[in-house]
Structure 1
Amino acid sequence: MEALYTDDQIFIPIISDYGFKATFGNEANTLFLRRALQAFIKSDVPIKEVKFDKNTFEGITQDGRSGIFDLACTDENDNHFIVEMQYGDAPYFVQRMKFYALHKFNAMVKRGKFDYGTLTKIYCVAILANNILPYDDFHTLANLRNEKAELFDDQMTFVTVELDKFTLQDVDCQTDLQKLIYTMKTIHTVTQPTQFPKFWDEEWLKVAIDELDSRKMTPDEKASLEILIARNAESVKAESRKIKEAREAENLAVKTETVKNALFMGLTVEQCATLAGVSVDFVKSVQQQFTGK
């Protein structure tokens, strides 16, 4: 995803590194984070306090944005939350979520909690700009279940939010989750206070919106924002190139294997080219390799 913020915008997008850290990572006032986490996990129990954790995963796995997740914290009951915002394509994001959660699980056990019955819960939350799951809903909450879809264990919960699937208008937003996702998708598009939905007057959202108001930033803060945006744009482009190159290499391997199998079956060069969707010259080059072997 390209840089989302331009000089003529009033509000910085939440779905940017700067916006995410200013809102979800606001250590001075955690009201927004606490209500957001409660909304993500669809809990009726308020989260009274959160404590930010050190990024213990840093250096284990790196991605195109120089970190493997954006935020980790625990609540007053020692439940663990891992939250990441992903802008670009994420073909293996489910596997990454499992890695984060299982690493946190292992770390909990190593700290001496060998009575597995006393282990607290782990919530792994992924906020994605693009779609990765074959479901219509923008919010997916998953636990370990049996073949009848009955709950097997809820010590680990995986939460996925796919922003592109959210299509509600402000007047249709009733729950905190809906209000949160609407805000994340639209705050940076607002240019006049008259465009504010009524629920933006709710204190937990006002805390976040105030942090995103570029008019309140000092010149140094604005300069830091521009530098961060430029760095992120380059990182995302680099990551996109890697994904594109990997897909092209995989596609080439599939076509090569198709041609080899077709030649082995006795098809003509022209038939092989049509079957694999490649040129005759490509088939001949594969044929030379095939014959040489």
Structure 2
Amino acid sequence: MEALYTDDQIFIPIISDYGFKATFGNEANTLFLRRALQALIKSEVPIKEVKFDKNTFEGITQDGRSGIFDLACTDENDNHFIVEMQYGDAPYFVQRMKFYALHKFNAMVKRGKFDYGTLTKIYCVAILANDILPYPQFHTVANLRNEQGELFDDQMTFITVELDKFTLQEADCQTDLQKLIYTMRTIHTVTQTTQFPKFWDEAWLKVAIDELDSRKMTPDEKASLEILIARNAESVKAESRKIKEAEQRVKAEMVTNALNMSLTVEQCTKLANVSADFVLSVQRQLTAK
């Protein structure tokens, strides 16, 4: 799923640096964030207020490899929410989610809440563009459970959304969660307002969509967006170079092992799927050593 913004798009993708901060990170109007969080954790209780965790929110970083953006906030009951959005590969996202949640847990204890029975809940949300988990559903909720699958503890809850697994059409979206994921998957593909589904008129979604409308951006916002687009493009190029270099190292190692086993140049080329010149180059380096 491509999340990068191009000049011919009217709406900026939510799962992008600018789009995420303009919607989930909108401090001026938190209606979208509150309804989105309520939908993601599948709660019947409305979230009335949210307060951003400044230490985390101001530390938003982009990993040039995969595009990672994080947000942390608390609600009026001091429940903690951590949101991670990622449009690239995420081989260790489970470990990263555990790190975030446990770091938050430790911080809560260090603040003096040594009565563990009064600790508030931690919700760690990962929204991923690609398929990661071996389950068919696009939305997964996980808690600590015993070997029979019975709930052991729900103080920490891990929520995963895999956008590529979402296949519902506009007419099939009934719940807030379905409307949210449909919007995240399609908003940047819309070229005419006549394509808007009816539920995009709902106040909470309209707040987000208005923030993503490039036609309503101020000159400063447009300049900021252009900088982010350029930075994202450079990140993609840098990552492509890293991937190519890594592939070359792996192939060189394969050729080295093959040569050490006395395979011929032709056999090495077929084994590693490389050219004869590549094999000869590796061979010369081995001879030089």
Shared fold (TM-score greater than 0.5)? yes
- Count residues with an aligned counterpart: 287
Report sequence identity in percent. 91
In 1, the alpha carbon distance for the partners of 2:251 and 2:126 equals 34
Stretch moving more, 47-56 or 196-205: 47-56
What is the CA deviation profile of residues 96-127 of structure 1, one whole-angstrom value per residue up to 9, with x for unaligned ones?
Answer: 11111111111111111111111111001011
In 2, the alpha carbon distance for the partners of 1:201 and 1:13 equals 18
Q: 1:189 offset after TM fit, Å? A: 0.8
What is the CA deviation profile of residues 33-69 of structure 1, one whole-angstrom value per residue up to 9, with x for unaligned ones?
Answer: 0000000000101000000002349889983379964
In 2, the alpha carbon distance for the partners of 1:90 and 1:206 equals 30
Q: 1:171 offset after TM fit, Å? A: 0.5
Q: 1:175 offset after TM fit, Å? A: 0.5
What is the CA deviation profile of residues 135-173 of structure 1, one whole-angstrom value per residue up to 9, with x for unaligned ones?
Answer: 111111100111111101101011111111111110000
In 2, the alpha carbon distance for the partners of 1:132 and 1:162 equals 7
Q: 1:195 offset after TM fit, Å? A: 0.4
Q: Does the CA-based 8 Å contact 1:70-1:84 persist in structure 2? A: yes
Secondary structure in 1 aligned to 2:68?
coil
Q: Does the CA-based 8 Å contact 2:90-2:132 persist in structure 1? A: yes
In 1, the alpha carbon distance for the partners of 2:273 and 2:67 equals 39
Q: 1:5 offset after TM fit, Å? A: 1.8
Change (3 A) 1:105 1:237: farther
Structure 2 counterpart of 1:199? 199
Q: Does the CA-based 8 Å contact 1:69-1:82 persist in structure 2? A: no
Secondary structure in 1 aligned to 2:181?
helix
Change (3 A) 1:106 1:236: farther
In 2, the alpha carbon distance for the partners of 1:7 and 1:282 equals 40
Change (3 A) 1:212 1:264: closer
Gaps of at least 5 residues in structure 2 are none
Structure 2 counterpart of 1:236? 236
Q: Does the CA-based 8 Å contact 2:61-2:69 persist in structure 1? A: no
Stretch moving more, 58-67 or 45-54: 58-67
Change (3 A) 1:287 1:179: same
Q: Does the CA-based 8 Å contact 1:35-1:46 persist in structure 2? A: yes
Return the TM-score normalized by structure 2. Answer: 0.82
Equivalent residues in 2 for 1:79-118, closer than 5 Å: 79-118=79-118
Q: Does the CA-based 8 Å contact 2:87-2:128 persist in structure 1? A: yes
What is the CA deviation profile of residues 217-273 of structure 1, one whole-angstrom value per residue up to 9, with x for unaligned ones?
Answer: 1222212101111112322443465466xxx869xxx99999999999999999999
Q: 1:191 offset after TM fit, Å? A: 1.1
Structure 1 counterpart of 2:271? 275
Structure 1 counterpart of 2:150? 150
In 2, the alpha carbon distance for the partners of 1:226 and 1:239 equals 20
Q: Does the CA-based 8 Å contact 1:85-1:127 persist in structure 2? A: yes
In 2, the alpha carbon distance for the partners of 1:281 and 1:13 equals 44
What is the CA deviation profile of residues 62-112 of structure 1, one whole-angstrom value per residue up to 9, with x for unaligned ones?
Answer: 833799642100000000000011111111111111111111111111111
Stretch moving more, 153-162 or 235-244: 235-244
Change (3 A) 1:249 1:199: same
Secondary structure in 2 aligned to 1:104?
helix
Return the TM-score normalized by structure 1. Answer: 0.81
Q: Does the CA-based 8 Å contact 1:141-1:160 persist in structure 2? A: yes
